[in-house]
Amino acid sequence: MKAVRVHSYGKPPTVDEVPEPAVTGPWDVLVQVGAAGLCRTDLHIVEGQWAEKSGVRLPYVIGHENAGWVREVGSAVTNVAAGDAVILHPLVTCGLCRPCRRGDDVHCENSRFPGIDCDGGMADLLLTNARSVVKLASGLEPAAVAALADAGLTAYHAVRKAAPLLHPGTTCVVIGAGGLGHIGIQCLLAMTATRVIVVDPSERARELARELGAHDVTDRTDELADTAHVVLDFVGEQGAEAAGLAMTRRAGSYYVIGYGGTVNIPTIDLISTERNIVGNLVGSYTDLDELMTLAAQGKVTLHTKTYQLSAVNEAIDDLETGGLAGRAILVP
């Protein structure tokens, strides 16, 4: 089968012929990949930022936002069958550890993370397990939802955590209306009654935010100082961190979702204003299942550009240079 593999950090990935994965365990699910999202994390992987943290051995297949059709299942699998359209939770989890048993499977003690620490889904086939597959509602196609497996899941997870703070009369500032942010905006509007203000330097991104229903958009952060009950930072680098903290009001909460930068704040400033800094990592199986309900209802949709698998480096270039509004989707 064909697969996109990283051979050396700092160099473009290549499309290679590799052996097909096979079902060997009772809970295995082999998926024919219908679409794989390209994430900024993939860029960070190619740059080598994840090398030490993931411990992955090169070469390996990237791609952690995946959807497709079940090709084969193990003997114990009953929740899906061959031919079912599915989206995949990015983690392959055990179901037995304490985090899994309390529904916090994103912190599974025995998880694998295809595309991060083992072979992922920018390929014709991907091997996962029964706990990771969410069957798609009739009418939802893999290419239309693939990026919701991580970008959408991460955005939904952050909004779901922040939702109890976002009662009527509150203000939420969203930093970045790109691949993650445009999903977060829709989740906020579907799940809360807060006023949504979007900050983005790109007029194209601001226009998308307007189309999605944001109450206000701007490219200025100084005029929003100390105004937001919640800030959702989908950028997390290049100065967005400092701007996000500055826009958070007393007793407000700054949610870090994008990454790459550094949060630097004197502890006395946290104490004296009771600001909260909240990290966000992907989301649970339940989060993904709920997000698919919003997708089926038409309340969350993806703005995408589709590329053939062989054009992966074109897609990477478009993402790096800001040529994308929304998400890049690779179709094997």
Give me the domains of the chain, ranges plus CATH numbers: 2-150+284-331 (3.90.180.10), 153-279 (3.40.50.720)
> Are 217 and 210 within 8 A, CB to CB?
yes
Q: Where are the alpha helices (DSSP H) in the chain?
A: 40-47, 51-54, 98-101, 142-145, 151-162, 181-191, 203-212, 240-247, 267-273, 285-296, 312-320
> Are 36 and 65 within 8 A, CB to CB?
yes
Distance CA 260, CA 236 (A): 6
- Whether the predicted pLDDT of 239 surpasses 90: yes
How far does the chain reach from its first CA to its final CA, in angstroms? Answer: 10
pLDDT tens readout for residues 71-86: 999 999 999 999 999 9
Region 279-292 average pLDDT: 94
CA distances 170 to 97, 243, 248, 282, Å, are 38, 19, 12, 25
- Whether the predicted pLDDT of 47 surpasses 80: yes
Hey, which residues does 255 pair with through a beta bridge?
232, 278
- Whether the predicted pLDDT of 54 surpasses 90: no
Predicted pLDDT at 323: 78
Predicted pLDDT at 149: 95
% of the chain at pLDDT higher than 70: 100
Predicted pLDDT at 53: 84
Predicted pLDDT at 260: 85
Predicted pLDDT at 52: 87
Region 316-322 average pLDDT: 89
